[in-house]
Structure 1
Amino acid sequence: MVNWTQMHDCYGDVDRVPALLEQVEVEDDAEAWEALGHRLVLEHDLVFPASFAALPRLVRLASRSARARGLAGTILRCAAGHHGCDDLLADCADPIAEFRELLDRHLRSRPDDYLVTFLDLLAAREEYHWSAVLGDFTDDFYHLACPHCAVEVTIAIGDHGRYSAIRDWHLGDVDRRGLRPATSAELSGTGRWMYETAVRDGHEALADGLTHLFGTAECPRCASVFDIADEYTSANRPTLRQGQANRR
């Protein structure tokens, strides 16, 4: 049972979120949903005790409410931040597992909001760094340091090319080197899951982009070859909090 007297929202209130939840559970009221979202997520970045306290009820609503599904996903995308609510997040393990299954079923229906749902599912799987940056590969850029010479390398995966380069303020991307995509057999772990999910759901462009993201690049400065996803993950993946680490 949630003790709402200890669950403040972004305004410091402890009574408005439970009242709004009761309202949207009875009626899919757009104004109530908007007010609830403003109280649970601040500028799509910060979350609060009330955000995680509300998550189980949002998940229960998510099977019949796109607004609930979207708000629950937004909260989870913010879960890697420094919100001071690790215990509350750990208590949401079962609802989050249920939410993962719901999101996967939604993906199988090939919805219009496919990429957003894909990103929400990545967050529900604690792949926060990919959830934050993955695009549809029409114009994606990833910036990372070469693991051998430390120069900043720009990785481009989009309609204008798939390459590694040095980004120059005036000249743009210079000294481009083509990426080597991974084969499906070479993929493993999260990369394999992402690729197989996109293929399963008929999103060929997303699947193809992922093979490049989880492929290799050549550094334009020192010509060393490195795994793109491994280097990006090591530099950007949030450190697991103790509650999360114990669940793995």
Structure 2
Amino acid sequence: MPDIHSAHESPLTAGTGTPRLSALLDAAAHGDGRAWSGLWTELFHNGTLDPAHPLVLPALTAMAEEGTVEALSLAGALLVRDDGCPEPGRLREAYALEVARLLAAAHRSRQAVVGSGTYCVVLEALLGVEGGAPYAEELIGGLLNEEYEIECPGPDGCGEVWVVLGERGHFTTAEDYALAEDDVRRVPLRPAVPGTGPGARLHGYALADGHPDVARALTYVCGEAECPTCGRSFRVSDVLAAPRPR
């Protein structure tokens, strides 16, 4: 069991809430699901606890190195959120050693986990720890949910496009297919093996790690889709990676 109290001192402000944070981390290290829920709520969603506190990333890193996917996932999410702040990179700079250890733990975990769902969670965490892919949550979330809801990238912005992949088929539609009648127009996706970028790396990882279903899904995300309204062709991965206004 990792010792969360062995964390090094941080040049960042420790903030407040140390007793509660320490208690949550201790409980999470012992597998308490409610503690993990509390950590996600207070560190990530509400910000009532400071992610820059000197206990947080060292403790999450220690747990991730023991194979706790939840710790890896939360650490990746905290780094991604910090990257999007007005002054990005404070956590990466202050905890460079932990980030390097988290990256190594993420690669070990992706090679060890079973189940496509958990594997996708590890891939999202890996992208988060690496940095430079703020769209990782949307990318992996779509793989898990087997659908993406995006805006047509055409200049006229003709409306929402549903991109469906999985057991229900691989297609785009302009309607909520789950609520629509059977005769809803569906335009087949055209898969392609990704050649560059994060998609190519994830595709290679999935094949090497024994997750061909994830690799196949990525060929549709990185292949060609068509807006069923205006006929414009696009790649889902390009739409997700496009810069967004902050």
TM-score by length of 1: 0.74
Instruction: Give CA deviations for 1:114-156 in whole Å, capped at 9, x if unaligned.
Output: 2322222122123342234525847511122222231221111
Q: Which has the higher strand share?
A: 1
Mapped to 1, the partners of 2:195 and 2:181 lie a distance apart of 31
Q: Is the 8 A contact 1:55 1:95 kept in 2?
A: yes
Shift of the alpha carbon at 1:166?
A: 0.3
What residue is the counterpart of 1:163 in the other structure?
171
- CA RMSD, Structure 1 to Structure 2 (Å): 3.5
Kept in 2: contact 1:216–1:226 (CA 8 A): yes
Q: Does 1:116 align with 2:121?
A: yes
User: Per-residue CA shift, 1:55-86, capped at 9, x if unaligned?
Assistant: 023213432252xx523421421444477884
User: What is the letter of the counterpart of residue 63 of structure 1?
Assistant: E
Distance in 2 separating the partners of 1:20 and 1:161 = 42
- The corresponding residue for 1:150 is 157
Q: Unaligned regions of 5+ residues in structure 1, if any?
A: 240-248
Relative to 1, partners in 2 of residues 1:92 and 1:41: Cα closer, same or farther, differing over 3 Å? Answer: farther
How many residues get paired? Answer: 227
Equivalent in the alignment of 2:3: none
1:171 & 1:134 partners in 2: Cα distance? 25
Structure 2 Cα separation of the partners of residues 64 and 138 of structure 1:
25
Range with bigger deviation, 124-133 or 142-151 = 124-133
Give the equivalent residue in structure 2 for 1:177: 187
- Give 5+ residue unaligned stretches, structure 2: 1-7
Asked if the contact 2:102–2:129 (Cα under 8 Å) also holds between the matched residues in 1, the reply is yes
The residue that corresponds to 2:140 in the other structure is 134
2:12 & 2:224 partners in 1: Cα distance?
51
User: Is contact 2:65–2:102 with CA below 8 Å preserved after alignment?
Assistant: no
2:219 maps to 1:211: yes
1:145, 1:136 → 2: CA distance? 14
Relative to 1, partners in 2 of residues 1:133 and 1:123: Cα closer, same or farther, differing over 3 Å? same
